[in-house]
A and B are shown apart, each in its own frame.
Chain A
Amino acid sequence: EPEVTQTPSHQVTQMGQEVILRCVPISNHLYFYWYRQILGQKVEFLVSFYNNEISEKSEIFDDQFSVERPDGSNFTLKIRSTKLEDSAMYFCASSELAGDYNEQFFGPGTRLTVL
């Protein structure tokens, strides 16, 4: 069964460093998303991406964040200068363009720890 994959599974970085989180969405999906979950809290929407551009973003997704689809398979989230509060689990998701039944499938997540 096709699935969303993410790498790395765990990333440790120093405050102020840049990180890139990688995702490979399901191959025939056209919408891509990033969500994050701070430990013990709810899942929060960051950004959605369609047709090589951002379709929606949340207040969390400020100028420190960017997304890119560098080739036909990968979808990346870049954090330019990490802060302690960026420590969280980051989930990538993808969905088909299929009207109302537009279920989002989530990857296994990348745990980001900022020291």
Chain B
Amino acid sequence: ELKVEQNPLFLSMQEGKNYTIYCNYSTTSDRLYWYRQDPGKSLESLFVLLSNGAVKQEGRLMASLDTKARLSTLHITAAVHDLSATYFCAVVEGAQKLVFGQGTRLTINP
């Protein structure tokens, strides 16, 4: 059974700082996704990572994938308040099923 673990689960940081969220998964998978969720809202797709060494960047967020270590990171650069949200990683199990991590609740303080 595929397990997906994120850490930290809660992260409070100041604007302008850098930080990294980690996502470990227990068995081989060929696809990993990062989603953002605002309170009471749906899941917004941020990144799709398909291969070992994949790196994608969008604004202040950068995601990478190491399939050998079964590890993905989501790096936040010079955080701004608008990035406050819960971030989920999700790994594909089998053909279509997404297995989600517990989520990281990120709060960015002015």
Q: Footprint of B on A, CB under 8 Å?
A: 31, 33, 35, 41-45, 48, 55-56, 58, 91, 95, 100-109
Contact = CB atoms under 8 A, between A and B. Distances in A.
Given A45-B98, A104-B45, 7 more contacts: A31-B96, A43-B90, A43-B98, A56-B97, A104-B96, A106-B42, A106-B44
Given A101-B48, A103-B33, A107-B42, A42 B97 contact: no
Contacts of A48: 96-97
Interface string B25-55: 0000011010100000111110010100000
B96 A109 contact: no
Main secondary structure of the interface of A (DSSP, over half): strand
Contacts of B96: 31, 33, 48, 55-56, 95, 102, 104
Contacts, number: 56
Report the interface size class on chain B. 20 to 34
